[in-house]
A and B are shown apart, each in its own frame.
Chain A
Amino acid sequence: MKAIWIYEKKLQYPVRVSKCDPKLAKMLIEQYGGADGELSAALRYLNQRYSIPDKVIGLLTDIGTEEFAHLEMIATMVYKLTKDATPEQLRAAGLADHYVNHGHALFYHDAAGNPWTATYIQAKGDPIADLYEDIAAEEKARATYQWIIDNTDDPDIVDSLRFLREREVVHSLRFREAVEILKEYNSTKKMF
């Protein structure tokens, strides 16, 4: 039915924001354009597919695609938390540097303002090395979500962040299974 990547006009999970809170948005930006954020995740997995054994291409495609859905959720949180913020409010939240460069636009940088870079991700062309990187990436993303949850008491945002944190747990599990699939595949290849 779908021969190309296709946009779905809905979020994967609800994002409810009832207030203007640029301080929280500043933290969430870590998962937008940070090293272990959703952009890194999507680009890492989709790019590794071309040199990975056929048995795990499907998994990399599907997890990589889901990461874009997470990126859209983070973007929605940041957008809603900052759309009505005045320059004064943004300055008070430590977002003056962001504002002078981007206004109310989003940009791919981390919470400290460092721009996203491809050096955050790797494709080694070695299946085990790549999958272990992916497992580590999921665990780091899970930890980041935990640190953000620890830093906010907004119940609506916490609900969405818990969903995203649990997705990282599932992704990590699936990547671990992929490692086992490849190990088994390699051992049968050597035996016969």
Chain B
Amino acid sequence: MSETPPQMPKAYYQYLHELQSIDFVLCELTLYLDTHPEDEQALAQFTQFQKRKHNLMTQFEAAFGPLYEFGVSPISGGKWTWSQTPWPWQV
């Protein structure tokens, strides 16, 4: 039936949850700014969270591989690891 899911270290889940909460704020702000494009406070918050996302993403990708491809995420260690497990439904 299904292959055995890969065992991911605790740190993977910690990073993932932190990323998910930052991305949630950015998702909320994106939709909000779509209907309130003049809101400067929301814009400032967006910029602030974007920085946090970028920092965390860099750390996550260095440890666990690319989150995006098509040239968006860096190649780590000269190896193509994008197509390796785990995929989101496997963890």
Interface residues, chain A, CB within 8 Å of chain B?
Answer: 1-2, 4, 6-15, 56, 58-59, 62-63, 66, 72, 75-76, 79-80, 83-84, 104, 170-171, 174, 177-178, 181
Residue of A6, A75, A181 contacting most chain B CB atoms (<10 Å): A6
Q: Mark B42-80, 1 if CB is under 8 A from A, else 0.
A: 000000000000000000000001111110100000000
Q: Cβ of B72: which chain A residues have Cβ within 8 Å of it? A: 1-2, 6
Q: Is the CB of B70 within 8 A of A62?
A: no
Q: B6-60: which residues lie under 8 A (CB-CB) from chain A? A: 16-17, 19-20, 23-24, 27-28, 30-32, 34-36
Q: How many residues of B contact A (CB 8 A)?
A: 27
Q: Cβ of A75: which chain B residues have Cβ within 8 Å of it? A: 89
Query: How many Å lie between the Cα of A63 and that of B34 in the bound state?
Result: 10
Q: Is the CB of B20 within 8 A of A11?
A: yes
Q: Is the CB of A174 within 8 A of B1?
A: no
By Cβ-Cβ distance, the 9 closest A-B pairs, closest first, are A76-B89, A59-B34, A83-B2, A177-B35, A58-B34, A11-B88, A9-B67, A79-B89, A174-B31
Query: How many Å lie between the Cα of A119 and that of B61 in the bound state?
Result: 42
Across chains A and B, the number of contacting residue pairs, with CB separation under 8 Å, is: 73
Q: Chain B: which residue is nearest A17 at the CB level?
A: B89
Q: Chain A: which residue is nearest B13 at the CB level?
A: A14
Query: How many Å lie between the Cα of A76 and that of B91 in the bound state?
Result: 10
Q: Is the CB of B31 within 8 A of A6?
A: no
Q: Chain B: which residue is nearest A77 at the CB level?
A: B89
Q: Cβ of B20: which chain A residues have Cβ within 8 Å of it? A: 10-14
Query: How many Å lie between the Cα of A181 and that of B38 in the bound state?
Result: 13
Q: Cβ of B89: which chain A residues have Cβ within 8 Å of it? A: 11, 15, 72, 75-76, 79-80
Q: Is the CB of A9 within 8 A of B88?
A: yes
Query: How many Å lie between the Cα of A25 and that of B28 in the bound state?
Result: 28
Q: Known: A10-B19, A12-B23, A104-B1. Is A59-B35 also a contact (CB below 8 A)? A: yes
Rounded to whole Å, the gap between the CB of A47 and the closest CB of chain B is 18
Rounded to whole Å, the gap between the CB of B3 and the closest CB of chain A is 9
Query: How many Å lie between the Cα of A9 and that of B86 in the bound state?
Result: 9
Rounded to whole Å, the gap between the CB of A184 and the closest CB of chain B is 12
Q: Is the CB of B88 within 8 A of A10?
A: yes
Q: Is the CB of B87 within 8 A of A62?
A: no
Q: Is the CB of A181 within 8 A of B1?
A: no
Query: How many Å lie between the Cα of A15 and that of B87 in the bound state?
Result: 13
Q: Is the CB of A83 within 8 A of B1?
A: yes
Query: How many Å lie between the Cα of A63 and that of B35 in the bound state?
Result: 12
Q: Cβ of B23: which chain A residues have Cβ within 8 Å of it? A: 12
